[in-house]
Amino acid sequence: MTLDYVEEYQKDLGFNKEELISQVVLKACDYCQCPYETCVEVLLVDDETIRQMNKENRDIDASTDVLSFPNAFFESPGDFQGLTNDCFDPDSGEYIVGDIVISLDHVIAQALEYGHSTKRELAFLTAHSMLHLFGYDHMTKEEAEIMEQHQRNILEELGIGRD
Protein backbone atom coordinates (compact mmCIF):
# COMPACT_ATOMS: atom_id res chain seq x y z
CA MET A 1 0.00 0.00 0.00
CA THR A 2 1.11 3.51 -0.76
CA LEU A 3 -0.10 6.24 1.57
CA ASP A 4 0.43 9.73 0.20
CA TYR A 5 0.25 11.62 3.49
CA VAL A 6 0.27 15.41 3.62
CA GLU A 7 -0.09 17.34 6.85
CA GLU A 8 -0.89 20.92 5.79
CA TYR A 9 -2.05 21.79 9.30
CA GLN A 10 0.31 20.96 12.13
CA LYS A 11 -1.35 19.87 15.37
CA ASP A 12 0.34 17.66 17.94
CA LEU A 13 -2.24 15.13 19.09
CA GLY A 14 0.20 13.11 21.18
CA PHE A 15 0.54 10.17 18.78
CA ASN A 16 1.86 9.45 15.30
CA LYS A 17 -1.04 10.45 13.04
CA GLU A 18 0.50 9.03 9.86
CA GLU A 19 1.08 5.64 11.49
CA LEU A 20 -2.49 5.49 12.81
CA ILE A 21 -3.99 6.49 9.47
CA SER A 22 -1.86 3.90 7.69
CA GLN A 23 -3.06 1.17 10.08
CA VAL A 24 -6.71 2.13 9.56
CA VAL A 25 -6.37 2.31 5.77
CA LEU A 26 -4.73 -1.13 5.68
CA LYS A 27 -7.37 -2.60 7.99
CA ALA A 28 -10.20 -1.10 5.93
CA CYS A 29 -8.73 -2.57 2.74
CA ASP A 30 -8.40 -5.96 4.42
CA TYR A 31 -11.83 -5.77 6.05
CA CYS A 32 -13.51 -4.87 2.73
CA GLN A 33 -11.50 -7.61 0.99
CA CYS A 34 -9.94 -5.28 -1.54
CA PRO A 35 -8.04 -7.66 -3.84
CA TYR A 36 -5.48 -5.08 -4.99
CA GLU A 37 -2.48 -3.22 -3.70
CA THR A 38 -3.74 0.30 -3.07
CA CYS A 39 -2.77 3.94 -3.11
CA VAL A 40 -4.63 6.42 -0.90
CA GLU A 41 -3.98 10.12 -0.45
CA VAL A 42 -4.69 11.67 2.95
CA LEU A 43 -4.59 15.39 3.58
CA LEU A 44 -4.86 16.87 7.09
CA VAL A 45 -6.11 20.46 7.15
CA ASP A 46 -7.75 23.10 9.34
CA ASP A 47 -11.44 24.04 9.38
CA GLU A 48 -11.06 26.96 6.98
CA THR A 49 -9.34 24.85 4.33
CA ILE A 50 -11.93 22.07 4.51
CA ARG A 51 -14.71 24.69 4.40
CA GLN A 52 -13.29 26.07 1.15
CA MET A 53 -12.96 22.56 -0.30
CA ASN A 54 -16.52 21.72 0.76
CA LYS A 55 -17.80 24.87 -0.95
CA GLU A 56 -15.83 24.23 -4.14
CA ASN A 57 -16.68 20.53 -4.42
CA ARG A 58 -20.12 20.18 -2.83
CA ASP A 59 -21.44 23.77 -2.92
CA ILE A 60 -21.78 23.68 0.87
CA ASP A 61 -20.25 26.73 2.56
CA ALA A 62 -19.47 25.10 5.91
CA SER A 63 -16.61 23.23 7.46
CA THR A 64 -16.95 19.50 7.93
CA ASP A 65 -14.98 16.74 9.59
CA VAL A 66 -13.99 14.70 6.53
CA LEU A 67 -14.31 14.76 2.76
CA SER A 68 -13.94 11.68 0.57
CA PHE A 69 -13.06 11.80 -3.10
CA PRO A 70 -13.33 8.30 -4.59
CA ASN A 71 -11.49 7.39 -7.76
CA ALA A 72 -14.07 4.81 -8.82
CA PHE A 73 -17.81 4.37 -8.95
CA PHE A 74 -19.14 1.17 -7.40
CA GLU A 75 -22.28 -0.54 -8.67
CA SER A 76 -22.62 -1.92 -5.15
CA PRO A 77 -20.49 -1.10 -2.10
CA GLY A 78 -17.25 -3.02 -1.89
CA ASP A 79 -17.71 -4.72 -5.27
CA PHE A 80 -14.30 -4.38 -6.88
CA GLN A 81 -15.30 -6.31 -10.03
CA GLY A 82 -16.24 -3.19 -11.98
CA LEU A 83 -12.96 -1.31 -11.64
CA THR A 84 -11.58 -0.13 -14.97
CA ASN A 85 -7.97 0.27 -16.07
CA ASP A 86 -8.03 4.01 -15.40
CA CYS A 87 -8.44 3.23 -11.68
CA PHE A 88 -4.91 1.82 -11.54
CA ASP A 89 -1.52 3.49 -11.51
CA PRO A 90 0.14 2.48 -14.79
CA ASP A 91 3.60 2.35 -13.17
CA SER A 92 2.92 0.60 -9.86
CA GLY A 93 -0.26 -1.27 -10.78
CA GLU A 94 -1.85 -0.08 -7.54
CA TYR A 95 -5.56 0.66 -7.34
CA ILE A 96 -5.82 4.41 -6.76
CA VAL A 97 -8.58 4.40 -4.15
CA GLY A 98 -9.03 8.16 -3.83
CA ASP A 99 -8.42 11.08 -1.53
CA ILE A 100 -9.33 11.71 2.10
CA VAL A 101 -9.32 15.20 3.61
CA ILE A 102 -9.66 15.46 7.39
CA SER A 103 -10.04 18.60 9.50
CA LEU A 104 -7.85 18.31 12.59
CA ASP A 105 -9.92 21.08 14.19
CA HIS A 106 -12.97 18.81 13.89
CA VAL A 107 -11.00 15.81 15.19
CA ILE A 108 -10.22 17.72 18.39
CA ALA A 109 -13.71 19.22 18.81
CA GLN A 110 -15.56 15.96 18.11
CA ALA A 111 -13.32 13.96 20.43
CA LEU A 112 -14.27 16.37 23.22
CA GLU A 113 -17.94 16.33 22.22
CA TYR A 114 -18.16 12.52 22.12
CA GLY A 115 -15.95 11.97 25.14
CA HIS A 116 -13.22 9.90 23.55
CA SER A 117 -9.63 10.41 22.46
CA THR A 118 -8.41 12.28 19.40
CA LYS A 119 -6.78 9.00 18.35
CA ARG A 120 -10.16 7.28 18.29
CA GLU A 121 -11.74 10.20 16.41
CA LEU A 122 -9.02 10.32 13.75
CA ALA A 123 -9.23 6.54 13.31
CA PHE A 124 -13.03 6.72 13.04
CA LEU A 125 -12.96 9.46 10.39
CA THR A 126 -10.35 7.56 8.40
CA ALA A 127 -12.40 4.34 8.51
CA HIS A 128 -15.56 6.29 7.63
CA SER A 129 -13.88 7.87 4.63
CA MET A 130 -12.36 4.58 3.43
CA LEU A 131 -15.83 3.06 3.39
CA HIS A 132 -17.03 5.98 1.28
CA LEU A 133 -14.10 5.41 -1.08
CA PHE A 134 -15.24 1.79 -1.42
CA GLY A 135 -18.78 2.84 -2.35
CA TYR A 136 -20.57 2.79 1.00
CA ASP A 137 -22.89 5.62 1.97
CA HIS A 138 -25.33 6.59 4.71
CA MET A 139 -28.16 8.29 2.82
CA THR A 140 -30.81 5.86 4.09
CA LYS A 141 -31.29 4.33 7.54
CA GLU A 142 -30.32 0.90 6.22
CA GLU A 143 -27.15 2.22 4.55
CA ALA A 144 -26.21 4.10 7.73
CA GLU A 145 -26.64 0.98 9.87
CA ILE A 146 -24.42 -1.07 7.54
CA MET A 147 -21.76 1.62 7.41
CA GLU A 148 -21.81 2.12 11.18
CA GLN A 149 -21.36 -1.62 11.75
CA HIS A 150 -18.42 -1.75 9.34
CA GLN A 151 -16.81 1.26 11.06
CA ARG A 152 -17.21 -0.39 14.47
CA ASN A 153 -15.76 -3.66 13.18
CA ILE A 154 -12.72 -1.99 11.61
CA LEU A 155 -11.94 -0.06 14.79
CA GLU A 156 -12.56 -3.10 17.01
CA GLU A 157 -10.20 -5.21 14.90
CA LEU A 158 -7.56 -2.54 15.52
CA GLY A 159 -8.33 -2.48 19.25
CA ILE A 160 -9.47 1.14 19.10
CA GLY A 161 -12.41 1.72 21.43
CA ARG A 162 -14.24 4.70 22.81
CA ASP A 163 -11.84 4.88 25.80
Tell me the pLDDT tens digit for each residue of 24-54. 999 999 999 999 999 999 999 999 999 999 9
The mean pLDDT value for 54-63 works out to 97
Percent of the chain with pLDDT over 70: 99
CATH number of the domain to which 94 belongs = 3.40.390.30
Contact between residue 143 and residue 106 where contact means Cβ atoms under 8 Å apart: no
Threshold 0.85, pTM exceeds? yes
Residue 99 sits at the vertex; the CA angle it makes with 98 and 104, to the nearest 5 degrees, is 155
In a domain, 162, yes or no: no
* pLDDT band (50, 70, 90) for residue 163: low
DSSP characters over 80-110: GGG--GGGB-TTT--EEEEEEEEEHHHHHHH
In a domain, 36, yes or no: yes
In this predicted structure, the answer to whether residue 162 has a pLDDT above a threshold of 90 is no
In a domain, 163, yes or no: no
In a domain, 54, yes or no: yes
In a domain, 113, yes or no: yes
Q: Average per-residue pLDDT in the chain?
A: 96
**Strand-pair partners of 83:** none
In a domain, 21, yes or no: yes
Q: Which pLDDT value is given to residue 159?
A: 96
**Segments forming the whole domain that contains residue 73:** 2-157
In a domain, 122, yes or no: yes
In a domain, 85, yes or no: yes
Q: Among 91, 96, 102, which Cα is nearest to 21's?
A: 102
Q: How many residues in total does the chain contain?
A: 163
Domain count, the chain: 1
